[in-house]
Amino acid sequence: MTLRLEERDEARLAGLEGPAQQMASRVVTRLAAAMGADVLIDITGAHIDSCLYHGQAVLDFANRLADDGARVVVPTTLNVSSLDLLHPEHARGDPEEARLSRRLMERFEEMGCRPTWTCAPYQLEVRPGFGEQIAWAESNAIVFANSVLGARTNRYGDFADICCAVTGRAPAAGLHLDEHRRATLVIRLVGVSADLVERDVFYPVLGGLIGRLVGKAVPVIDGLEPGVSEDRLKALGAASASTGSVGMFHMVGSTPEAPTLEAALAGNEPVEEVTVTAADLRDARDRLSTTTDGDLRTVSLGTPHYSVAEIGRLVDLLGDRRIDDGVAFFVSTGRDVLHEVELRGWADRLADAGVTVVTDTCTYFTPIIQDVTGTAMTDSAKWAYYAPGNLGLEVVFGSTEDCVESAMVGRVVRDEGIWADA
């Protein structure tokens, strides 16, 4: 398929709008050709992941764009960085790497990006609407935008994301197009108790299972009560994008392109139907843990970043209790959410309970956790999937309630009863 370019794209490639537009246009057009797109489309916004420092090459690319005068032409938010700028005392890594990380962050701000520093841009006051074409990076943000907001983005990654933001253009391919958004695989639950389905912990576990089952296919989940909350859909999507490559899912009655099963399938027969049992979910939960050692040293919540509602629930679970002195307890969130939490008086309550709030980054790749020798616990399937490899620690996955109760007594405790067959 031949890529047909508009005059403005040709002018940029010829350097008529400067070297930054020329380089960014080269990246976008070559990506489009590789994806088999025949045209480029305009986007209304972008979310950038290449602001996370992975080495000198990332900074070199940002320097090249910024030094050449690059400016984003659409509203652009920034993903988590490698530093918590609001709480610099958390940093435990190499000072030189921290300096380079900060410089990378500054370069993206210089290009006109909004310093949001969150992996959950959908929790910001302004977010894309149904049908909007955007270019988002960060796997959980991508799947949320497509599935829950009904906006349209492919799985963009480092360098492609900022180039789309600078040009305001993206390849007309993949999940930007109707034909790639319809579900091809139906997932149904059999023998799963109503009690489990009503728990928050059900959704990241189901998401982790779905990711392994479907890879990058678009699944539709049928048979759940309509109106599943955004936080639960967030957890499901983040898990499925981590354990697989899911960029979009449908849930009948809860996501905007699936008012019915027939609508999610766009009138077609599914390629496959998969039954998920209570035993499948138990196995999926157990795969999210790497140890049975109950010697708890760390709890980390908020991957993706916790919402205001999730922090409110954590405050309720803590009550007037304090976490065991031998346990380091972290909750990660965006700075916009933290501001609201402070206004509600919850930040002081968290501090009194022994909770450390982390913003701008995430504990599974930034050197914040001091003790990586003992067991860590999380309610996030994404954190459980990535932290062992990134940090070299052992993880136990559990519900938020499990994490809080375990932190109170200094050892892992989990409610096993909810995982029984219906």
pLDDT tens digit sequence for 263-293: 999 999 999 999 999 999 999 999 999 999 9
Q: Where are the beta strands (DSSP E) in 25-65?
A: 40-42, 46-48
pLDDT higher than 80, residue 328: yes
CA distance 223 to 213: 18
pLDDT of 119? 98
Average pLDDT over residues 244-266: 98
pLDDT of 79? 98
CA distance 346 to 18: 49
The answer to whether the CB of 134 falls within 8 A of the CB of 168 is no
Confidence of residue 129 (pLDDT cuts 50, 70, 90): very high
pLDDT of 146? 98
Confidence of residue 422 (pLDDT cuts 50, 70, 90): confident
pLDDT of 310? 98
pLDDT in tens, 158-188: 999 999 999 999 999 999 999 999 999 999 9
Confidence of residue 365 (pLDDT cuts 50, 70, 90): confident
Average pLDDT over residues 394-405: 98
Structure tokens at 297: 């040293």
420, 413, 382, 385: which is closest to 398 by C-alpha?
Answer: 413
One-character DSSP codes across 350-368: HHHHTEEEEESS-TTTSTT
Distance of CA 302 to the CA centre of its chain: 10
pLDDT higher than 90, residue 317: yes
pLDDT of 229? 98
Run of H or E including 20 = helix 19-35
Q: Quote the pTM value.
A: 0.97
pLDDT of 99? 95
Confidence of residue 20 (pLDDT cuts 50, 70, 90): very high
pLDDT higher than 80, residue 1: no
Average pLDDT over residues 249-264: 98
- % of the chain surpassing 90 pLDDT: 95
Average pLDDT over residues 347-363: 97
pLDDT of 421? 84
pLDDT in tens, 72-98: 999 999 999 999 999 999 988 899 999
The answer to whether the CB of 28 falls within 8 A of the CB of 164 is yes
pLDDT of 366? 86
pLDDT in tens, 181-231: 999 999 999 999 999 999 999 999 999 999 999 999 999 999 999 999 999
The answer to whether the CB of 379 falls within 8 A of the CB of 408 is no
Query: If you average pLDDT over every residue of the chain, what do you get?
Result: 96
Average pLDDT over residues 355-374: 93
Average pLDDT over residues 347-376: 94
pLDDT of 344? 98
Residue that is written with structure tokens 């959704």 in the block: 203
pLDDT in tens, 23-72: 999 999 999 999 999 999 999 999 999 999 999 999 999 999 999 999 99
pLDDT in tens, 199-212: 999 999 999 999 99
